[in-house]
């Protein structure tokens, strides 16, 4: 298996980061998209071997009632607040996707992850919105992933939706296993919380899980306070096993 290891964001200066890790997930794109030129500059300063993934803009996934909307540089119009979030197939949501896609192209990203909030629960309306959105959104060769944050979603149902819509099921492997996708995409949020530091025993367990998988590629992204150290130790353990 081809395993790419990195962090969600930069826990170290970029130059130092690129000397050790060859994958990074850009998280800030969830809250506010950078300018296309800024994304191009980020891509240009990174070695060609570095791979980018990113989160989709919250205007697609989160409703304006989400506290994360305070990060927007330009607030949404009050009269159009019900046009945003929850994958609504509205002009505003598709425009937000077009802008997300521009940044993904500038970064030469391989994967864009749609992180739906805790308030995005199972139900006919939300599922219908997802089908309408992903059925019409342009992908431009990108792989798209879905990370449902609401615990009410049944894993098998998530798997069915992901297979139908050609999505990667993005998971924290400490919480459950992926049910769909041509590749594995793990977001390692810390067992029990972001302050968790993974033990070598825990990391070896995840290495063993990957070695048993029949998938050809995996993204392993650490998203806890100790992400830098944990990512480096995971990479060392993976390489130690002769993968």
Which CATH number is 80's domain given?
3.20.20.410
Q: Could you tell me the pTM of the whole model?
A: 0.96
SS3 of residue 91 by DSSP: helix
pLDDT, tens digit, for every residue of 212-243?
A: 999 999 999 999 999 999 999 999 999 986 54
> For residue 135, with 0-12 CB atoms within 10 Å meaning exposed, 13-18 middle and 19 or more buried, which class applies?
exposed
What is the extent of the structural domain holding 73? Answer: 2-240
- For residue 95, CA distances in Å to 39, 57, 63, 86, 133 come to 18, 11, 15, 14, 12
Q: Which two tokens stand for residue 121?
A: 């629960």
Q: What is the pLDDT of residues 73-90, one digit of tens each?
A: 999 999 999 999 999 999
Tokens found for residue 64: 């304006």
* Mean of the per-residue pLDDT values of the chain: 96
At residue 110, the pLDDT reads 94
Percentage of residues in the chain having pLDDT higher than 90: 98
The residue-averaged pLDDT of 148-155 equals 96
Total count of domains within the chain: 1
- Please give the average per-residue pLDDT across 133-156, as a whole number: 96
pLDDT given at position 243: 45
What's the pLDDT tens digit per position in 24-39? Answer: 999 999 999 999 999 9
Q: Please give the Cα distance from 57 to 188 (Å, whole number).
A: 21
Cβ neighbours of residue 222 under 8 Å, at least 6 residues apart?
5, 6, 7, 8, 188, 228, 230, 231, 234
Q: What is the pLDDT of residue 241?
A: 62
Q: What is the pLDDT of residue 138?
A: 95
Burial class (CB in 10 A: 0-12, 13-18, 19+), 145: buried
Exposed, middle or buried, 36 (CB in 10 Å: 0-12/13-18/19+)?
A: middle
Average pLDDT over residues 4-33: 98
Mean pLDDT over residues 153-157, rounded? 96
pLDDT at residue 184 in the model: 98
For range 54-63, the mean pLDDT: 98
Q: Do residues 22 and 6 touch, judged by C-beta distance below 8 A?
A: yes
User: According to the model, what pLDDT value does residue 158 have?
Assistant: 98
């Amino acid at each position: 298996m081809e395993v790419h290891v990195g962090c969600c964001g930069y826990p170290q200066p970029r130059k130092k980061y690129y000397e050790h890790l060859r994958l990074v997930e850009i998280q800030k794109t969830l809250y506010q998209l950078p300018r296309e030129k800024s994304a191009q500059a980020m891509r240009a300063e990174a070695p060609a071997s570095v791979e980018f993934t990113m989160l989709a803009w919250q205007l697609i996934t989160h409703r304006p009632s989400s506290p994360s909307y305070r990060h927007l540089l330009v607030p949404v119009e009050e009269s159009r607040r019900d046009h945003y979030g929850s994958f609504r197939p509205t002009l505003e949501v598709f425009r937000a996707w077009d802008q997300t896609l521009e940044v993904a192209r500038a970064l030469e990203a391989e994967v864009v992850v749609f992180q739906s909030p805790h308030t995005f629960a199972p139900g006919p309306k939300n599922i219908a919105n997802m089908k309408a959105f992903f059925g019409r959104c342009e992908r431009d060769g990108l792989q798209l992933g879905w990370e449902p944050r609401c615990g009410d979603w049944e894993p098998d149902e998530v798997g069915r939706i992901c297979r139908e819509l050609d999505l990667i099921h993005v998971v924290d492997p400490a919480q459950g296993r992926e049910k769909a996708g041509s590749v594995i995409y793990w977001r390692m949020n810390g067992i029990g919380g972001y302050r968790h530091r993974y033990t070598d025993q825990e990391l070896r367990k995840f290495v063993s899980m990957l070695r048993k998988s029949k998938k050809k590629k995996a993204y392993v992204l650490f998203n806890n306070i100790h992400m830098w150290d944990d990512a480096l130790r995971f990479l060392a353990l993976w390489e130690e096993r002769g993968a």
